[in-house]
């Protein structure tokens, strides 16, 4: 079965690949890469993620009822939609590459990278079409293999492309006597590698789709009592579902792209502005802060989708108490992971950044030391939005998110000036955007359910425990880093800290044995708790 958990896992995998890419093309290269890659993600989420989710849902419902002909009819319409949408987006991206790079992002160096956005989106839509078909026909293992191939091929393709692009750019920059050319070609090579990885993934997925279509055609022939649906009825629901599901994914990602646009637009107009320095700052923000907080945020919400079915079932049964309890447990689960992730990352930021990265480190350390709470806010916002969308509050979430984004844009422009051109301003604006949406989500939940979040057990105790441990690992990290290096310091600090955090929460009855058993080092902690009489 396809769900957004797999999308989360794919995004985590691709973000991990961006760490070696940042070493290859540098901060300047990541600055030139940020615009094309963000436009690709936004278009892929809007048209691709929604395509997969909607196609899977509509086909699976009919396959489950034995209506194979209707499922095939939906896939036929999906192919037409994908072809038209892919061609239109390819043309738009190809014609507007200069407009987006120069006018919107004020970044002339990224224009050659934008040349590959259209082909990348074109391929992404057909990849999502095939994944949606495999999931919709209950070939889940094949779909999972295809998604793994997609993530790995894309990541490796980007790395290989960045190496080739940087190598080519070095030779050209020597002729032109312009060091920025190396970074530009590195970003272009990364986007070209992304397209190459997508092409490999598409070939694999198409082969699997063709293979499984044969067995599906046999099922269609054996179908009894065919109930033919009209394509006019299906097409409207399909397109509406694609755009609705796609918008839900885009909403949560858009503040990152908006922050980059605001930062470039405001700083490029400053007196004595250096485009290369601005691009390097964007690259450091995009390759360091966004990658680290993005991975932590996605890990925090990776188990959310598993809870939504139970919440929706309780609501359908008019059991508001059960729904309330499950939402409260969802809040506790997200908080239990996100709070220590935020505190430990904040305390170890001076060790994490120089251990993983090179280049502009100071700004990334400052951002991680002061703004990692974005992880907690995002995780809760994603969780509560997912619940409300599952319960049918799609329109309300779109309106609230759009309003919050407008407020954060105005605030971001003001804060960029206040923080003297640093990225702290846009990041605070991002937190405000997600925070406003989260507050509205909580108010809607309180209005419809008898919510009891049990803040002492779910928030206060984990916060205090993680805070105390965080102070200790900060002191330990400062003492060890210079003498033994970053890798050993992180291992010595993080693994015992996670173990002690879980042990303390277990002793304070914050976490159950069943939940703890699924976590890293959990079985060992459960046995300790049983010996101590906690469980």
Q: What's the pLDDT tens digit per position in 358-400?
A: 877 888 899 999 999 999 999 999 888 888 887 888 888 888 8
Give the tens place of pLDDT for each residue, 474-495. 999 999 998 898 899 999 999 8
Burial annotation 41-80 (CB, 10 A radius, 16+ → b, else e): bbbbbbbbbbbbbbbbbbbbebbeebbbbbbbbbbebbee
CB contact at 8 A, 245 and 3: no
> Cα–Cα distance between 158 and 147 in angstroms, integer?
16
Number of domains in the chain: 3
- Say yes or no: 525 and 436 in one domain: no
Per the structure, the complete domain to which residue 305 belongs is given by: 262-453
Write down the pLDDT at residue 198: 94
- Say yes or no: 305 and 268 in one domain: yes
Lowest mean pLDDT among 219-233, 343-357, 505-519: 219-233
pLDDT at 47 over 60: yes
- Say yes or no: 364 and 482 in one domain: no
DSSP tag of 451 = -
Indicate whether 232 belongs to any domain.
no
Lowest mean pLDDT among 3-17, 33-47, 135-149: 3-17
- The residues, ordered by sequence, that sit 6+ positions from 455 with a Cβ below 8 Å of its Cβ are none
Write down the pLDDT at residue 522: 65
Model confidence at 266, in pLDDT bands (50, 70, 90)?
Answer: confident
CB contact at 8 A, 260 and 286: yes
> Cα–Cα distance between 372 and 312 in angstroms, integer?
31
- Say yes or no: 485 and 449 in one domain: no
> Cα–Cα distance between 45 and 245 in angstroms, integer?
9
> Cα–Cα distance between 14 and 150 in angstroms, integer?
10
List the one residue out of 294, 299, 276 whose CA is nearest residue 367. Answer: 294
> Cα–Cα distance between 412 and 23 in angstroms, integer?
29
- The residues, ordered by sequence, that sit 6+ positions from 289 with a Cβ below 8 Å of its Cβ are 364, 367, 368, 371, 423, 427
- Say yes or no: 508 and 435 in one domain: no
SS3 247: helix
Plot region of 44 (φ>0 → left; ψ -120 to 50 → alpha; else → beta)? alpha
List the one residue out of 196, 485, 206, 189 whose CA is nearest residue 356. Answer: 485
Cα dist. 504→230, 458, 488, 509, 529 in Å?
59, 14, 24, 9, 10
Q: What's the mean pLDDT in 154-183?
A: 89
Model confidence at 8, in pLDDT bands (50, 70, 90)?
Answer: low
Indicate whether 241 belongs to any domain.
no
Write down the pLDDT at residue 140: 79
Half-sphere exposure of 343 (CA within 13 A, CB side): 22
**Which residue has better confidence, 16 or 519?**
16
Dihedral over alpha carbons 53, 56, 62, 67 (to 10 degrees): 140
CB contact at 8 A, 134 and 212: yes
List the one residue out of 79, 70, 65 whose CA is nearest residue 229. Answer: 70
- Say yes or no: 99 and 180 in one domain: yes
Write down the pLDDT at residue 223: 67
Residue with tokens 């936004």: 42
CB contact at 8 A, 377 and 434: yes
Write down the pLDDT at residue 518: 65
Model confidence at 413, in pLDDT bands (50, 70, 90)?
Answer: confident
- Say yes or no: 441 and 508 in one domain: no
**Which residue has better confidence, 19 or 422?**
19
Write down the pLDDT at residue 1: 38
Indicate whether 438 belongs to any domain.
yes
> Cα–Cα distance between 157 and 147 in angstroms, integer?
15
Taking the CA atoms of 56, 62, 67 and 69 in sequence, report the sign of the dihedral they define: negative
SS3 228: coil
- The residues, ordered by sequence, that sit 6+ positions from 454 with a Cβ below 8 Å of its Cβ are 328, 332
- Say yes or no: 467 and 422 in one domain: no
Indicate whether 253 belongs to any domain.
no
- Say yes or no: 305 and 209 in one domain: no
Convert 484-527 into a string of H (helix), E (strand) and C (coil). HCHHHHHHHHHHHHHHHHHHHHHHCCCCCHHHHHCCCCHHHHHH
- Say yes or no: 107 and 209 in one domain: yes
> Cα–Cα distance between 6 and 150 in angstroms, integer?
12
Cβ atoms within 10 Å, residue 392? 10
Average pLDDT, the chain: 85
- Say yes or no: 90 and 178 in one domain: yes
Cα dist. 232→65, 80, 229, 237, 271 in Å?
21, 14, 9, 9, 57
Half-sphere exposure of 435 (CA within 13 A, CB side): 10
CB contact at 8 A, 326 and 386: no
> Cα–Cα distance between 423 and 416 in angstroms, integer?
7
Q: Is 377 exposed, middle or buried (0-12, 13-18, 19+ CB in 10 A)?
A: buried
Indicate whether 90 belongs to any domain.
yes
SS3 227: coil
pLDDT at 263 over 70: yes
Q: What's the mean pLDDT in 84-105?
A: 89
Indicate whether 342 belongs to any domain.
yes
**Last-in-domain residue among 453, 475, 505:** 453
Taking the CA atoms of 369, 375, 378 and 381 in sequence, report the sign of the dihedral they define: negative
**Last-in-domain residue among 220, 251, 277:** 220
> Cα–Cα distance between 311 and 304 in angstroms, integer?
11
Give the tens place of pLDDT for each residue, 51-64. 888 888 888 888 88
pLDDT at 34 over 60: yes
Half-sphere exposure of 513 (CA within 13 A, CB side): 11
- Say yes or no: 350 and 478 in one domain: no
**Last-in-domain residue among 431, 453, 475:** 453
Give the tens place of pLDDT for each residue, 186-209. 999 999 999 999 999 999 999 999
Model confidence at 532, in pLDDT bands (50, 70, 90)?
Answer: low
Model confidence at 5, in pLDDT bands (50, 70, 90)?
Answer: low
Indicate whether 238 belongs to any domain.
no
Q: What is the CA radius of gyration of the chain?
A: 24
* Percentage of the chain modeled with pLDDT above 90: 35
* Percentage of the chain modeled with pLDDT above 70: 90
> Cα–Cα distance between 427 and 390 in angstroms, integer?
28
Indicate whether 114 belongs to any domain.
yes
pLDDT at 75 over 60: yes
CB contact at 8 A, 120 and 194: yes
CB contact at 8 A, 305 and 248: no
pLDDT at 183 over 50: yes
């Amino acid at each position: 079965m396809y769900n957004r958990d797999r999308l989360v896992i794919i995004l985590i995998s691709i973000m991990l690949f961006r760490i070696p890419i940042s070493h290859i093309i540098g901060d300047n290269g990541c600055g030139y890469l940020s615009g094309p890659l963000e436009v690709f993600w936004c278009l892929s989420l809007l048209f691709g993620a929604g395509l997969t989710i909607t196609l899977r849902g509509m086909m699976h419902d009919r396959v489950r009822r034995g209506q194979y002909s209707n499922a095939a009819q939906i896939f036929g319409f999906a192919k037409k939609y994908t072809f038209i949408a892919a061609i239109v987006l390819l043309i738009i991206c190809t014609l507007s590459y200069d407009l987006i790079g120069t006018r919107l992002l004020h970044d002339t160096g990224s224009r050659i990278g934008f040349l590959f956005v259209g082909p990348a989106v074109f391929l992404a839509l057909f990849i999502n079409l095939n994944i949606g078909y495999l999931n919709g026909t209950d070939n889940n293992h094949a779909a999972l293999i295809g998604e793994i191939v997609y993530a790995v091929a894309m990541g490796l393709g980007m790395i290989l492309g960045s190496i080739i692009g940087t190598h080519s750019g070095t030779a050209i920059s020597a002729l032109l006597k312009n060091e920025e050319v190396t970074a530009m070609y590195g970003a272009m090579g990364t986007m070209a590698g992304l397209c190459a990885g997508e092409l490999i993934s598409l070939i694999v997925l198409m082969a699997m789709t063709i293979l499984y279509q044969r067995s599906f055609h046999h099922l269609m022939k054996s179908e009894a009592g065919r109930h033919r649906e009209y394509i006019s009825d299906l097409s409207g629901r399909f397109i509406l579902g694609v755009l609705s599901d796609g918008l839900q994914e885009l909403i949560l990602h858009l503040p990152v792209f908006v922050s980059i646009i605001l930062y470039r637009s405001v700083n490029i107009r400053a007196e004595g502005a250096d485009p290369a320095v601005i691009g390097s700052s964007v690259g450091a923000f995009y390759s360091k802060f966004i990658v680290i907080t993005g991975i932590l945020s996605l890990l925090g919400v990776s188990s959310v989708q598993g809870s939504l079915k139970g919440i929706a079932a309780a609501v359908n049964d008019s059991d508001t108490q059960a729904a309330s309890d499950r939402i409260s447990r969802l809040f506790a689960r997200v908080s239990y992971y996100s709070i220590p992730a935020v505190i430990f990352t904040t305390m170890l930021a001076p060790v994490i950044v120089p251990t993983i990265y090179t280049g502009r480190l100071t700004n990334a350390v400052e951002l991680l030391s002061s703004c990692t709470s974005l992880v907690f806010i995002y995780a809760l916002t994603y969780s509560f939005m997912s619940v409300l969308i599952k319960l049918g509050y799609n329109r309300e979430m779109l309106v609230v998110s759009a309003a919050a984004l407008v407020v954060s844009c105005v605030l971001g422009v003001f804060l960029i000036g206040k923080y003297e051109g640093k990225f702290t301003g846009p990041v605070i604006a991002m937190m405000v955007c997600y925070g406003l949406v989260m507050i509205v989500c909580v108010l809607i939940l309180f209005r419809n359910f008898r919510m009891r979040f049990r803040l002492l057990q779910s928030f206060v105790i984990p916060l205090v425990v993680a805070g105390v441990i965080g102070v200790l690992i900060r002191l330990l990290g400062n003492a060890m880093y210079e003498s033994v290096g970053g890798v050993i310091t992180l291992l010595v600090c993080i693994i015992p800290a996670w173990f002690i955090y879980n042990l303390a929460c277990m002793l304070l009855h914050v976490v159950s044995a069943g939940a703890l058993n699924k976590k890293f080092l959990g079985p060992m902690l459960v046995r300790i708790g049983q010996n101590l009489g906690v469980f």
